[in-house]
Amino acid sequence: MQENSNQFSISDAVRLASTPAGQQLLALLQQGSADSLKTAAEQASAGNYDEVKKLFSALMENPEARTLLQQLGR
């Protein structure tokens, strides 16, 4: 069975989170509000992505976060 290259897997997330840019991005997310991050993760697990969208929308207002996301996208 061939995996769809457009899908983002848990292993992809772990790999990205273990990079220096991923670690910095996680720190920025936690710095904003650890409770918001936890709530977004819980909601995403339940299939509700609205909290994740809010969290990343706020994160994208941070120039450092945008730079880190660009680095991760390479």
The Cα 24–Cα 1 span in angstroms is: 35
Angle at which helices 50-59 and 20-32 cross, to 10°: 100
Q: What is the pLDDT of residue 48?
A: 86
pLDDT tens for each residue of 41-70: 888 888 888 888 888 888 888 899 888 888
Predicted confidence band of residue 6 (pLDDT cuts 50, 70, 90): low
pTM over 0.85: no
Determine the length of the chain: 74
Q: What is the pLDDT of residue 54?
A: 84
The domain ranges of the chain are 15-72
